[in-house]
Structure 1
């Protein structure tokens, strides 16, 4: 027994020593991958020495002799700080995530392979202008130089994540940057998803189903969807989303993570300092690190400063010495679903405009980590690629014996958007910018420009041209074999920049005619005669919900202060307390208040109660609040109050009854989660921004280390927008929001302010991994100047690149 005890003791000590040595080894290699920002490197690919001057927030200011040298250094700086993120974005655009993330990434890879983003990017490389080709190549050379430096110096593979993934880091190619831009274009539009949802609603209740969705910009009269396919049979609708499924940060094309944003400007006559103001916030999924990376480039034509995306040699939003620009996705229908009939008895053919036609087919193999490779057959039609996995609900609206294909401007293989954005970055005035933006194809953009005392605005992108006799005008999936559903080409939108008549310009990705956030921002800007940088910051950070202000007086009209006071501790007293709070609330979605949580839970329960009996399984997929629908129901617009009657019950319910029942349901759920005291509830307890690491964030232990979680104010319809997960056990979790914000004051450009949502570094052991996250949460910013002396005076480190002999 004594001998056994000794051996167990020895084994325990050995295991402890082994664990300590393993931890030290992991720590050593992780620390080795931290870049030294004060080092000097001899490199191949530059013509003269280049300096990368790092500010205290780790913002690189790059000074070189030629533009090519500067773009080389930007590629190297991106790779220093964000190499893992860059390779992940590249894999996402290529459809190769499953190689390192296993079967859970297969659906994303399958869809991207069918879209063919990498093929379109490779083809589009040939049509870029010479300056852009030179920049893309220099940038790729810079990325690859850092990979060589890491490999030669045994510097921890460049990022600690690479030790956990069997990833071979291949050299960067110019087409990779174009593919990432294509991925952003795909994430910037949900035109096809909106078509599918309308069709599902039309099938669920032909008379009233589409009352649920906002019809701004949609033709008043649309055909019966089932009637578009006479004789065809549709399958029974199914539940498509799993409410308990974990949020997967690898879903780069999820609607709640879609790219969006706000941009607004004021001309000199509307500003206190007598020069133009310009604000921009770019929305994206809340990942760590942020999608955006701050940088300053000293080009031959002058300095450029603002937001970049690692993987591309672009300042996407920012300013140069004479021009500032802000971008938002344009509210434009750039995609259509075509329903293709497959020839009975011959699945290799489909019904084209000239009769039965062969699919263009090819096979590709998706390699899967720890699983067998998957061979997929990709099919193309005259209308575009066949994309059965584009949307979870697409199967519900695809008749049996048919397949869906996609028309989308982003599939262009002659896409010069990269060249257009590079030229915008170098433009000296609004006229030059307008001419440059004529080449934008996808994403379609709403561009706001500020120059001196003036602000101008223009649309840029390729707009599909649909026939006058198109049966659905692109609002619903349509038969692919009809000649009238085919696009008649596209037209460039960037023709002329417009100055605002009142001196104020604003843009969101919402429809201008009926966008709640757009209306709120318009009111904030129009409510002041004169603006300053501080008033623009206040508008950018506004958390008042126009949806709450519009809906609560309407939905609660027959509930406020009714009935005798109820006894403490009873459900009736909870309802009275909740209504009392809401009656005095100004609609501010402040994280420290209970009212936003009560409102969000009430409206969610109300919408579900209104639609569930009519829509069945489809109700589970309506995870976004539809304020226009609730407004129409309670105003009985076009008979919409019919939604209040529960079909299965014998009685006829009115809307006031449904409103009360929904509030009781919401209070019951919140009590179970947060306790019985209504006044102690806090929006921030439920509404937390979860910045998820796309590679490791889903792993239980590492996710706790890598992810950043913080309570925040705001909501889906506030100017400071947060996209919520909308389903499952944590429906109010914020997974999308402003990854980048800026306010540029042309009266004193060096006082302009910027911020991203996490930090500049993607390395979890770096102090710059999350140092901006707290500032972002509190609505604070950092300054960035184009003055080289200021940059060097405040340098936290200077990396010097010298030409190798």
Structure 2
């Protein structure tokens, strides 16, 4: 990765680095405060976890039993009270986090962050759903509006209850949490972050403009291979990353942007299970945050008994199990968005060409309250027939409109889980999956009757005669969506003959599949290694699945270890390092000496192969998904295209020069003593709080870690890292389930259930996670009682 790339990455340190610093400079909260004072102040306003609280709008008492690991088990007598309590409890643990998420989703961050947040708010408002609200609500389930209303009433009740006893983040930054409405659960920002297709269109276009179409196809290949090319007559000048300025503004200050979304999930049926019932594993890979992106909860009421991980600002459980069915997610990667290049009128930029004529854009004006400004600021939002205009190029008379699934009703990320939560068997679960639209997910499932299956759940556009790999002209109508794939045409499988299913963001298109749903997938290394494990034995236990979730064998590492035999360093320490690498088994354990050498060598090889072929400003965004497979193909089968007239000689020169740079760099990063090198010393996981950039005292009080880490982005134990080798994404949440006994389920979530500094559950799960361990996922009332640490009774206010 280039110096330019490192600088870009450094700007994304933490959720609120830039924004919080801006606030501090403009408020009286800028004075330094000792870390101990911050801790004590935070402890003084911790949520009440025991005893009794009377709250308005409840119709009957609700029990909240928090177990030793901070997971709330909520027992209510009716659905409304259940979700009211879920909102209340989520606010107790994560109020600051969900308030920020709500502001990002609805475009009101400028109210608390000031003018710098305006462009992000504009983008959030542009991608907001603006269609038929009745269709929107009923797309999820008939009672979703009622559930969301109860959930948000619970959040508001907690805000009213604590009055000025706000979590310390609000005190430091000087603002109050806003009140919620049910519509706040319908935000589209989480969905637009989780699809990468329109961003890759821009990367591909910019690469073509820089190196030509033939080189672009080699550097950024598709799967299946597609000879992509710009549409006739579409000039690529000005089609670049700058078009995403609004997207960047909405995501970068909070680090909500992609950290390399991935995930693993797999399931075996009773034939391969020691218990005789299906076993299920799921570990979504998302950016490493403090607090965590996931919030675990158990919901129990008539018609409800579901436990697992979800979004703290949404009702229900996203992935987990109920009495009958277990399920887990990985991102599928269906192409769910396209950029249209609209030609605007020379005299009026709010009119754009449609066919041989001109039509007016829809123009919406909204006023935004901005912190520090005496008057609201008016934003002008423009829309074409294809969707929101996310960028305008007045000089070239162009507007860029985004058509994406988020424009359709029922596409609020993860809200469709409310239907999954109530499935009674595999058949009804698949029916519920059909309502899932965004983001695209590989959902593996199993039921207590022994059925297993997989469904690629996504609303997927049909493109006839074009591929969606590049931005397209919007005027003529030749690049329009022709409806959506029927549910029966989506990839899926049930009760396979080999008795297991596994997905890991790889190309999941079945053999002879005739629909073009996507061309950009994660490399198959994680899937291939998991498949090796699943075919290596005939019976599996929960312990086996735990081992697989922490599987650190790197298939690229094994490939480079073979190539290390071609190294010919002259320096004795470097020769010794080459020998260590050449005999390595490819396991990226924390104490692996060879693993540290491999990881730095891999970076230097990537730099050596790509930096001379891709302009520096494009390296961060271009070719990233396929970069390692492209590298390994070039190294294993050297050709003149890559290495000149003597391919093997050129290849070996790259291997050796990159290795020399890697050894020099390792000596600087660790020490000159080869024996002291280990992957875990180099590869660590820091947990950075949004307030940490306000000064050393905040960093000392709030931050956690760093902890040594194993694996990398290509091992099943996915721990994707940045240039500095700090982990930036991975499995912060995991579950393993045995359908023979729900109480045998295991889970992990890091660093803790609470976002409140000083809470016993702020960081209590970090030691387990760092040691590759789990806690029991208690489900039966008897088991929950055994592990209960806090008992809270919510009662109707008289």
| Superposition deviation, residue 52 in structure 1 | 0.3
The aligned runs of 1:565-576 (5 Å cut-off) are 566=570, 572-576=571-575
Alpha-carbon offset, residue 705 of structure 1:
2.3
The alpha carbon displacement at 1:679 in A equals 3.1
Matched with 2:549 is 540
SS in 2 for 1:403: strand
Worse overlay, 772-781 or 783-792: 783-792
Q: Distance in 2 between matches of 1:506 and 1:40?
A: 45
Q: CA deviation at 1:751?
A: 0.9
Q: Deviation per CA, 1:48-98, whole angstroms, max 9, x where unpaired?
A: 111101111121111111122111111111111111111011111122334
The corresponding residue for 1:308 is 310
1:520, distance to aligned residue in structure 2 (A): 1.3
Q: Which residue of 2 aligns with 1:141?
A: 153
Rounded Cα–Cα distance in structure 1 between residues aligned with 2:728 and 2:538: 35
Q: After superposition, where does 1:44-59 map in structure 2 within 5 Å?
A: 44-59=56-71
- The equivalent residue for 2:329 is 327
CA shift, 1:111, in A, is 2.8
Q: Distance in 1 between matches of 2:39 and 2:452?
A: 51
* 2:677 is the alignment partner of 1:676: no
* Alignment CA distance shift 1:46-1:436 (3 Å): same
Deviation at 1:481? 1.9
CA distance in 2, matches of 1:743, 1:238: 40
Q: Is contact 1:270–1:531 with CA below 8 Å preserved after alignment?
A: yes
- Tell me how far apart the structure 2 counterparts of residues 58 and 615 of structure 1 sit (CA, whole Å): 48
The aligned counterpart of 1:751 is 744
- Aligned residue number for residue 386 of structure 2: 383
Counterpart selection for 2:526 from 517, 524, 539: 517
Conserved 8 A contact 1:430-1:497? no
Tell me, yes or no, if structure 1 residue 271 matches structure 2 residue 268.
no
Cα gap change, 1:25 to 1:573, in 2 (>3 Å): closer
Distance in 2, Cα, partners of 1:119 & 1:433: 27
Q: Tell me, in whole angstroms, the C-alpha distance in 2 between the residues paired with 1:544 and 1:698.
A: 39
Q: 1:789 aligns with which of 782, 791, 798?
A: 782
Q: 1:22 to 1:558 in 2, by over 3 A?
A: closer
CA contact (8 A) 1:546 1:718 kept: yes
Tell me how far 1:409 sits from its aligned partner.
0.6
With over 3 angstroms needed to count, the CA separation of the structure-2 counterparts of 1:94 and 1:435, relative to structure 1, is same
Shift of 1:663: 1.4
- Asked if the contact 1:94–1:117 (Cα under 8 Å) also holds between the matched residues in 2, the reply is no
Instruction: Tell me, yes or no, if structure 1 residue 481 matches structure 2 residue 466.
Output: no
The residue that corresponds to 2:24 in the other structure is: none
What aligned pairs does 1:71-150 form with structure 2 within 5 A after superposition?
71-102=83-114, 105-116=117-128, 124-125=136-137, 128-150=140-162
Q: Is the 8 A contact 1:240 1:621 kept in 2?
A: no
Question: Would the alpha carbon gap of residues 68 and 714 (structure 1) be closer, same or farther in structure 2, given more than 3 Å must change?
Answer: same
Contact 1:121/1:178, CA 8 A, preserved across alignment: no
In structure 2, distance between residues paired with 1:106 and 1:416: 23
Give distance in 1, aligned partners of 2:610 and 2:155.
52
TM-score normalized by the length of structure 2: 0.86
Residue of structure 2 in register with 1:11 after alignment: none
Which of 484, 487, 491 aligns to 1:493? It is 487
Contact 2:138/2:144 (<8 A) preserved: no
Write the deviation string for residues 489-531 of structure 1: whole angstroms up to 9, x where unpaired.
2235367752222001111223237512111111111112211
Q: Contact (CA 8 Å) 1:419, 1:439: kept in 2 or not?
A: no
Q: Find the counterpart in structure 1 of residue 217 from structure 2.
A: 210
1:20: how far off? 12
State the Cα distance separating 1:173 from its structure 2 match: 1.3
| Structure 1 counterpart SS, 2:642 | helix
Contact 1:176 1:311 in 2 (8 A): no
CA offsets 1:345-382 (integer angstroms, 9 cap, x no match): 43222222353222222344555545797654322111
Are residues 597 and 753 of structure 1, via their aligned partners in 2, closer, same or farther at CA, if it must alter by over 3 Å?
Answer: same
Question: C-alpha displacement at 1:742, in angstroms?
Answer: 0.3
- Contact 1:93/1:118 (<8 A) preserved: no
In structure 2, do the counterparts of structure 1 residues 404 and 723 end up closer, same or farther at CA, with 3 Å as the change threshold? Answer: farther
Instruction: Report the CA distance shift for 1:196/1:22 in structure 2 as closer, same or farther (over 3 A).
Output: closer
Task: Within 5 Å, give how 1:459-478 maps onto structure 2.
Answer: 459-467=456-464, 469-470=465-466, 473-478=467-472
1:248 offset after TM fit, Å? 8.6
Instruction: Give the conservation status (yes or no) of the 8 Å contact 2:137–2:144.
Output: no
Gaps of 5+ in 2: 1-30, 510-522
Q: 1:252: Cα distance to partner? A: 4.4
In 2, are the aligned partners of 1:328 and 1:509 still within 8 Å (CA)?
yes
Counterpart in the other structure of 1:13: none
| Among candidates 654, 657, 664, match of residue 658 of structure 1 | 654
Aligned residues: 745
SS in 1 for 2:551: coil
Aligned counterparts of 2:325 and 2:251: Cα–Cα separation in 1:
39
In 2, are the aligned partners of 1:121 and 1:175 still within 8 Å (CA)?
A: no
Aligned 8 A contact 2:289 2:687 in 1: yes
Task: Return the alpha-carbon distance in structure 1 between the equivalents of residues 592 and 383 of structure 2.
Answer: 53
Structure 1 residue 466 displacement after superposition: 0.8
1:234/1:399 contact within 8 Å kept: no
* Structure 1 residue 761: Cα displacement: 0.7
TM-score scaled by length of structure 1: 0.86
**Larger CA Rg, structure 1 vs 2:** 1
CA distance, structure 2, for counterparts of residue 359 and residue 733 of structure 1: 45
What is the aligned partner in structure 1 of residue 291 from structure 2? 289
1:279: Cα distance to partner? 0.5
In structure 2, relative to structure 1, the CA distance for the partners of 1:48 and 1:718 (3 Å cut) is same
- Secondary structure at the aligned position of 1:380 is classed as strand
Deviates more, 1:655-664 or 1:405-414: 405-414
Cα displacement string for residues 689-731 of structure 1 (whole angstroms, at most 9, x for unaligned residues): 12222455565431332222222111011111123234xxx2x
User: Is contact 1:234-1:400 (8 Å) kept?
Assistant: no
Instruction: Tell me, in whole angstroms, the C-alpha distance in 2 between the residues paired with 1:704 and 1:290.
Output: 19
- The residue that corresponds to 2:18 in the other structure is none
1:268-320 Cα offsets, whole Å, 9 max, x none, are 00111111100111121111111111111112135211112111111111111
Residues of 2 paired with 1:438 and 1:140: CA distance? 26
Q: Is the 8 A contact 2:117 2:250 kept in 1?
A: no
> Hey, what's the Cα distance between the residues in 2 that align with 1:378 and 1:783?
49
What residue ranges of structure 1 are gaps of 5+ in the alignment?
Answer: 1-18, 390-394, 567-571
SS at match of 1:294: strand
User: Alignment partner of 2:341: what SS?
Assistant: strand
Partner Cα separation in structure 1 for residue 582 and residue 326 of structure 2: 43
Name the CA distance, whole Å, in 2 between partners of 1:256 and 1:312.
21
Name the SS for the 2:283 alignment partner: strand
Does the CA contact (< 8 Å) of 1:543 and 1:590 recur in 2? yes
Q: Distance in 2 between matches of 1:485 and 1:83?
A: 44
Assess if the C-alpha contact under 8 Å between 1:558 and 1:656 holds in 2: yes
Name the structure 1 match of 2:631: 630
SS in structure 1 at match of 2:652: helix
